[in-house]
Structure 1
Amino acid sequence: MASNPDTITATEPALKLTPPDPVPTVTAEKAVGLVPVDEGTKSKLEERADYAVQQLLERDANSPEFGKVVDAITNMGAKEIRDAAGQSNRFLDRPVRAMDQETGVGNDLAQLRRVVEDLDPGKKGNLTAPQKLFGIIPFGSKMRNYFDSYKSSQTHIASILKSLASGKDELLMDNASIDTERANLWSAMGKLEQMIQLSKMLDRKLEDKANELDATDPAKAKAIRESALFYARQRTQDLLTQMAVTVQGYLALDLVKKNNVELIKGVDRASTTTVAALRTAVTVAQAMTNQKLVLEQITQLNTTTASIIDSTGKLLRSNTARIHEQAASSAIPLETLQRAFQNIYETMDAIDTFKLKALDSMKTTVNTLSTEVEKSRGYIARAEGAAQNRVGSSPETFKLEAL
């Protein structure tokens, strides 16, 4: 019981809250010796026990002085019992917020868990699938609705985290108070242990003296057994019972502190790991959704590219075949060339025939033109003479004029 209370905060595996064991039942017999008493104190207690026994032996069993010593034995440890009981009562009267399931830290943790579970993207199905009204009409986007709900929950999460921080402060203050109360209980148990040691010493010494007086003073021996020894043993039982109750309270305080420590760790993890995990899940969901959209676009683009390449290949194959067919064949069909040359030949033959026929016609034309030219010469001469006579420039001009 003298161990350092801070040892209860041993390191636990990550994200694991370990509840402490229930408070064990402490019997009166086991409560003895739990709090050590130094040898110097034991010597002083031994002296007090010897003094009390000596006072009983020196007084008449029927005297008031004997009764006063018996009363002192009867009331032995009464103050220590009251002090220890008072410490236990204060412990029972204090509110134990660490174990509260309706308000405080426990309720805040439950609320945070519900919010995190509601926002778990893994429970929302395929966020990229189109949302449909009545399963038929396209209506909105699952992804947009999910992120809208996440944004709207941020205020609630912040409020829960603030309440958890306040609850954590209360738990820390509870543990500080528990440490003070445990120190007080430890002091009370130390005093109870001293009184238990004293009562046992009295029990042993009174019994030994009574046995010795059986031979010399049986009446005194009987009085010691019926009064002093009886009340000494009765007081020992009361002291042991109170010690057991006080030890139980001390262990219960240790249990409450352990619970508080576990809840404080839970609050820290909820405020950091849980919220960070939620944000990571949301970020991953968003990233995976974007990646899926990009992947779909890439797949569609690859499909389109493959289709273009396939169409290009088909067109190239078709055109290449046609080009090679065209290259293998002549530029102008043979029949057309033959007809063209035949037309040329026929045209040349027609020209030759025309020339032959034109020779006779041209000869006739030349002869006719020559005859006509000869005929026209007389007419031309007369016309020329008449013209010269009109001009009168020549002395030989023939004129018919008046004399």
Structure 2
Amino acid sequence: MSIQLTPPDASESTLILKAPEAPEIVKEADAPGMVPVPAERQAEINEQAREYIAEVATLNPLSPEYTSKIDGINRLAGQQLVASSNTSSRLLERSSTSLAGAKKSGNSAQVYVASTLGELRSTVEDLTPNQADFTVGRKILGMIPGGNKMAKYFQKYESSQKQLDKIIKSLLAGQDELLKDNASLAQEKATLWETMQGLSEYAVFAKALDTATAEKIESMKLRGQIEEANKLNSDVLFPIRQRHQDILTQLAVSVQGYLAIDMIRKNNTELIKGVERARTTTISALRTAVIVAQALANQKMVLDQIDAINTTTNNMILKTSEMLKEQTGRIHQQAASSGVSVETLQRAFDNVFQTMDAIDTFRSQANKSMEGTVLALESGLERARPYLERVRQQEGN
């Protein structure tokens, strides 16, 4: 593993909106190489380690000076270990806050901005014109009963303006929090880098002490100082290696924390850019889409009305031409023939003639009947005349 860390940089790179990958797990053996110590400084540290072990080897194991040296080994890099541990605790607290925020019980700026962006996305998707129903009905002469659908959509858009303004205001507030968070993380990163440099130097020093002690023990054994070598092995080499392990472990934790801070800062940067793009590009695109949709919808209404009028006109022209065609033929047919057919006239004349014949027959028969009646009346009068005269004579007496 050949990861090389770099000191914190205040400049911000302009990248596309892309979430950074999670940092890899840092092993203890790889940690010192990530925060390299210059060769000149390593040589100086190695020399100090040899002098230190040489001095410890000359001391009486029962003397206070010897005990003080051993205690010094146990306190090696104490301040750096505490500082690194505090940074890790702060990062753990930040993670707990983010987790609480994800569960709707915290106020993490990242979670707040991410949820607000999600709310903005839902609102924009709900207002997207291609999701709206602009279909309209059509009747003769351009009557459009479904035209209120478009009006309802724009009423919905206007009613959502307050919600959009509220979301944008929330995003700007979240963006300010992210900027403050990044400034704090930059300071945290710079402080942790200094701590890591100190831990890396102490790791070099502990390794040099280990090497120097091992060499000293081996030389004592070669000179026959077995008891002194064993004493140095148990009293000095053991705490050195124990402290070396502690330093490497904390250095690995610090490197992991440094990478985590860098990832958090990059996430914040991407969210900041996302807020800026949402505030400008997304809202502008939505407003442009609504304006275009309104223009197209109005054009569609006009076109629908024109189509309805054209359809009505075409139907009228077609019906008129059909009526003209039909009536023209009938007019020519009637013009070529008389108003009353010959057959009708012939039958009418026949009926007249039959009527006249019937009248003649009736008159002939009536003459005979009236002649008989006249004769009957004359006969009756003659018979009644003597009776009448008798009555008149009786009245004269």
The answer to whether TM tops 0.5 is yes
Q: TM-score, normalised by structure 2?
A: 0.71
Contact conserved, 1:28 with 1:241, CA < 8 A, in 2?
A: yes
1:269 — aligned with what?
Answer: 277
Q: Distance in 1 between matches of 2:38 and 2:79?
A: 21
**What SS is found at the alignment partner of 2:161?**
helix
Map 1:51-90; keep pairs closer than 5 Å.
51-90=51-90
Contact conserved, 1:8 with 1:258, CA < 8 A, in 2?
A: no
Q: Distance in 2 between matches of 1:92 and 1:190?
A: 22
1:22 — aligned with what?
Answer: 22
Map 1:199-348; keep pairs closer than 5 Å.
199-216=206-223, 217-307=225-315
1:165 — aligned with what?
Answer: 172
Tell me the alpha carbon deviations over residues 162-201 of structure 1, each in whole angstroms, 9 at most, x when there is no partner: 1101111111111111111111110000000000000000
Q: Distance in 2 between matches of 1:274 and 1:305?
A: 46
What is the number of equivalent residue pairs in this alignment?
Answer: 317
Q: Distance in 1 between matches of 2:88 and 2:6?
A: 19
User: What displacement does 1:141 show?
Assistant: 2.0
Contact conserved, 2:8 with 2:190, CA < 8 A, in 1?
A: no
2:195 — aligned with what?
Answer: 188
Name which of structure 1's ranges 246-255 and 259-268 shifts more when overlaid on structure 2: 259-268
Q: Distance in 2 between matches of 1:169 and 1:204?
A: 52
Q: Distance in 1 between matches of 2:44 and 2:190?
A: 24
Contact conserved, 2:18 with 2:270, CA < 8 A, in 1?
A: yes
Q: Distance in 2 between matches of 1:214 and 1:166?
A: 70
Q: TM-score, normalised by structure 1?
A: 0.70
User: What displacement does 1:224 show?
Assistant: 0.8
Please report the RMSD computed on the Cα atoms of aligned residues, expressed in angstroms: 3.2
Q: Distance in 2 between matches of 1:287 and 1:129?
A: 19
User: What displacement does 1:306 show?
Assistant: 3.7
Tell me the alpha carbon deviations over residues 351-403 of structure 1, each in whole angstroms, 9 at most, x when there is no partner: xxxxxxxxxxxxxxxxxxxxxxxxxxxxxxxxxxxxxxxxxxxxxxxxxxxxx
User: What displacement does 1:307 show?
Assistant: 5.0
Q: Distance in 2 between matches of 1:36 and 1:110?
A: 43
**What SS is found at the alignment partner of 2:34?**
coil
1:379 — aligned with what?
Answer: none
Contact conserved, 1:45 with 1:198, CA < 8 A, in 2?
A: yes
User: Counterpart amino acid of 2:120?
Assistant: L
Contact conserved, 2:217 with 2:230, CA < 8 A, in 1?
A: yes
User: What displacement does 1:290 show?
Assistant: 1.1
Q: 1:317 to 1:96 in 2, by over 3 A?
A: same
User: What displacement does 1:238 show?
Assistant: 0.3
Tell me the alpha carbon deviations over residues 19-71 of structure 1, each in whole angstroms, 9 at most, x when there is no partner: 22112111111112211212332233123212211211221233332222222
Q: Distance in 2 between matches of 1:232 and 1:193?
A: 15
Of 8, 15, 32, which residue of structure 2 is paired with 1:11?
15
Map 1:64-143; keep pairs closer than 5 Å.
64-94=64-94, 100-101=101-102, 102=104, 104-129=112-137, 141-143=148-150
Percent identity over the alignment is 39
**What SS is found at the alignment partner of 2:33?**
coil
Q: 1:286 to 1:320 in 2, by over 3 A?
A: same
Unaligned runs of 5+ in 1: 131-137, 330-403
User: What displacement does 1:121 show?
Assistant: 2.7
Contact conserved, 1:98 with 1:256, CA < 8 A, in 2?
A: no
**What SS is found at the alignment partner of 1:32?**
helix
Contact conserved, 2:19 with 2:270, CA < 8 A, in 1?
A: yes
Q: Distance in 2 between matches of 1:129 and 1:268?
A: 42
Q: 1:165 to 1:38 in 2, by over 3 A?
A: same
**What SS is found at the alignment partner of 1:188?**
helix
1:375 — aligned with what?
Answer: none
Q: 1:282 to 1:127 in 2, by over 3 A?
A: farther
Contact conserved, 2:135 with 2:146, CA < 8 A, in 1?
A: no
Name which one, 1 or 2, has greater alpha-carbon Rg. Answer: 1
**What SS is found at the alignment partner of 1:61?**
coil
Contact conserved, 1:121 with 1:281, CA < 8 A, in 2?
A: yes
Q: 1:61 to 1:96 in 2, by over 3 A?
A: closer
